[in-house]
Structure 1
Amino acid sequence: MSASTRKRTIIKAIRELNNRVTVADVVATTGLPLNEVTEELNSVAAQSQATLDVTDVGEVFYNFPPNFAMAYYAQGVKRVLLNAWNSIFKVLFFLFRISFGITLLLSFLFIFGTILLFQTVIAAGMGASHEVGAMWGDFGYLIKRIAMQDIVLWKKHDPSQEDASSGKSKQGFLLDCYSFLFGEGNPNEQLSENRWKLLAQVIRLNEGIIIAEHLPPYTGRPADDEPALFQVLSKFSGYPRLSESGQLIYVFPDMQQRSTNVSYTFMPEYIEEKPWQFSKMSPQALRPVLALAIGNFLGSLFFWWLCLFTHRVSKPPALFLFFAIYGTLFVLVPIIRLAIIRILNWRIARRNEMSRGFENLIGSPDKEVKSKLEDAEKIRRAFGAIPGNNIVYTTQKDYLEQLTDTK
């Protein structure tokens, strides 16, 4: 049975059982294996805002809202659309970044080239054409000095790898423009993947039996956040179990055996988000971009003065208006981004502080948490010692030879 068919079968069973089910109920209704039902039931519960009900005899019910199926399928469609949009957005955003780097050069060339052209006409009328020639030479040298000599170094490159002795960037002027405008992207792009790795390590470290307070330092959510808990249960095929004292303990059968080769010595006490950076480029590497951006902005202001106040041009061309607005935005965008980064880093600091506080739930447990930990240990002992890593068969040796060795 395919995964989609299995999900539909389980959703149908939940409806037939009036949206309040146990794992055993669904197994009896569908005839599916227990592990598959547990995994799929947790998945549906995580995406449909279901809750857990525990009876006085220790039976655990999944309580689904009336419109759970619609909510579940809506989440699935939303994920597909988000994945498609993320792929399209990456391409569009890359093209957007390229356009900024190239357009800055075109804007600078157009504005200062036009100004020099006006100066050439004026100087020619005054008989000082030799001075204009020197100005054009200086203009060409400026372009070469700032951008053109490094523009060919357009390749994938780590912005942190720079010439430490000279302070020059090894990636070229255009990519420096990207870094100046957009930075190097989200520093927490791998946060979700790292979060699941840490959660898996926590579960295995506790031999597949945990309490809700084990999770908050790595989920970033309170221990009583049921959607976050359901996601973990769904991800690692866990299920809730009621202890003798009435506490909910969470068991992950597939995560109970821990290899002795896996070390958790360097496991962090909580997951920490990295702060955003304006740019990984050094100030020396960004200086040419900043100089060109400011020069382009001042050049557009001077051109406005030349057109409007000297009355030499009655109506500025539309292309100039575009470049003038663009030059202004090229200065404003980094300033706005810097302000946004400060806000994002403030929020990241708050989330890190919250995760750090969650670590104390286990590090300095109160009476209730201590009771839960004791119950979890009792259940862990009740499960018994799980066979270790003694290999009883391997394809590296002949079967008869291994059989002889075990006798």
Structure 2
Amino acid sequence: MNSPNSAIMQSIEELNYRVTIGDVATKSGLDVKVVQQELLNLASDTNGNLQVAETGDIAYLFPSNFRSILRNKYWQLRWQKWLEKAWKIIFYLIRISFGILLVSSILLMLIAIVVIVIAVNSKNDDDNNSSSRNGGGFLFFPRFWFSPDIFWIFTPNYQQRRYQRQLSNSKENELNFLESIYSFLFGDGNPNPNLEEKRWREIATVIQNNNGAIIAEQLAPYLDNINIYNERDEGYILPALIRFNGYPEVSEKGEIIYYFPELQVKAEVRGKVSVSPYLKENLWQFSQANSSQKILAIGLGIINIVLALVLGSLLTPEVAQEIGGLILFVDFLYPLLLTYGISYLTIPLIRYFWLKNRNNKVNQRNYQREEKANLLKSSKELELKINYAQQFANQTIISEENLAYSTEKDLLDQQLEQRNKIDEEWRKRLGNN
């Protein structure tokens, strides 16, 4: 058995547990047919009630603890909830593992280089080599790099200064050091993870704000790949008609308007919902790490690859065999260490240019949608079409007063109440006469 749709359950909660198909379709942006079937299934599974108005429209009433009822009924939901918690932990460990790997790589190569230098120096002293070699270029390079200043990034004073700067400009959900390494390497994911859901929610909101009757140009600012110069081609609205069960209507002048009966029915009176004038995509960020974290990540990457090159110049098969132990292990890992060092700086560089190209396309789409939204505001012709479309606007509220039937009560009792209501109306009419 499939798990209930999470977007529909969230919509029910946000709409105070009494909804119509149009309410949920507007809130979630889902297909009307999908919403209808899901609401029926949820009502059946959670002991929800159907309220039928005299017009034949239906409202669904759910208990406030319907999620608990579902969890107790379906082990899949309990398993899914556990998996979500487990994945958050696993993904966090994956994120910080790259930072741990970077620091471990640097420390391992530092230790290996120090061990090799000490071993070579010891051997040279035993063999009474000339002082020129001891003070020459071979050992000067390691001594230069391994002076105490190299450890400035690991000193407590540096960490304290960095955190003090962060406190002066602190933000919620700021990345820690290990997370910032992952963010520098791979970014922070899609900035528009629910773009399609957002698109259809905004489209449904526009339709419902106009009481279920609109023209195609009102939806254009939320859609893509529309030729703004071909004003007569309204084929782009077909997905909205299919999704929300809409119908076209042609005026005497040949203008087409579209009305959506299901989105004209509400469970209660609700005002117009604020909606963006056009669908705006967020730009892809290179990294959410702050400037200090990015500089630190780049610096550590440079140190990592320099150490790999230094280690490569010192590490020979003869040295590894002679020293053995840790150096043999490092000799085995060296190709991986060098590959990681190169990839650490190469991957962000490639990603930077890729994101730059992708953001150009995002800006272009945003500009086109904004242009359509501005056209909608400035065109008198479109204003006349919108006014004509409002002739088909309608709003049906399923209130407690106009219910013909509800599964909350016994059918016989409801029939008796309905009969009494009819008798009362007749008595009022006769009294007026």
Normalised-by-shorter TM-score class = 0.5 to 0.7
Counterpart-to-counterpart distance in 2, 1:341 and 1:196 = 26
1: distance between equivalents of 2:283 and 2:295?
A: 23
Normalising to structure 2: TM-score of the pair?
0.56
Q: Does 1:372 align with 2:385?
A: yes
Q: How many equivalent pairs are there?
A: 296
CA distance in 2 between partners of 1:290 and 1:255 (Å): 53
Output the CA distance in 2 between the equivalents of 1:193 and 1:105: 40
Residue 190 of structure 2: aligned partner: 186
Deviations 1:165-188 (A, max 9, x none): 387997543222111112221111
**Which residue of the other structure, out of 305, 312, 317, is the alignment partner of 2:313?**
305
AA at the equivalent of 1:112: L
**Cα distance, 1:375 vs structure 2:** 3.8
Distance 1:376 1:338, change over 3 A: same
Higher RCO (CA 8 Å, separation ≥ 6 residues): 2
Corresponding residue for 2:255?
247
TM-score (norm 1): 0.59
Q: Distance in 2 between matches of 1:378 and 1:171?
A: 53
Counterparts in 2 of 1:150-299, with a 5 A limit? 163-165=166-168, 172-222=176-226, 224=233, 226=235, 228-257=236-265, 260-264=269-273, 266-299=274-307
Q: How does 1:133-148 map to 2 (within 5 A)?
A: 145=155
Work out the CA distance in 2 between the residues paired with 1:136 and 1:302: 11
Contact 2:283 2:362 in 1 (8 A): yes
Cα separation, 1, equivalents of 2:148 and 2:212: 72
Q: 1:51-89 CA deviation, whole Å, 9 max, x = no partner? A: xxxxxxxxxxxxxxxxxxxxxxxxxxxxxxxxxxxx9xx
Change (3 A) 1:319 1:136: same
Q: Could you say if the C-alpha distance between residues 298 and 199 of structure 1 is closer, same or farther in structure 2, counting changes exceeding 3 Å? A: same
The equivalent residue for 2:334 is 320
Q: CA separation of 1:332/1:145 partners in 2, compared to 1, >3 Å: closer, same or farther?
A: farther
Q: What corresponds to 2:109 in structure 1?
A: 111
Contact (CA 8 Å) 2:174, 2:289: kept in 1 or not?
no
SS of 2:167's equivalent in the other structure is coil
Q: Determine what percentage of the aligned residue pairs are the same residue.
A: 29
| Whole-Å separation in 2 of the counterparts to 1:238 and 1:342 | 39
Contact 2:184/2:294 (CA < 8 Å) preserved in 1? yes
Q: Counterpart of 2:72?
A: none
Secondary structure of the 1:241 match is strand
Structure 1 residues 313 and 194 mapped into 2: Cα distance closer, same or farther (>3 Å)? same
Task: Classify the secondary structure of the residue corresponding to 2:258.
Answer: strand
2:331 is equivalent to residue 333 of structure 1: no
Quote the offset at 1:313 in angstroms: 7.0
Q: CA RMSD in A?
A: 4.6
Q: Distance in 1 between matches of 2:92 and 2:355?
A: 20
Aligned residue for 1:250, secondary structure, equals strand
The residue type equivalent to 2:192 in the other structure is: N
Counterpart code for 1:208: G
Q: CA deviation at 1:111?
A: 2.1
Q: 1:374 and 1:143, CA in 2 relative to 1: closer, same or farther beyond 3 A?
A: closer
Instruction: Name the CA distance, whole Å, in 2 between partners of 1:201 and 1:194.
Output: 10
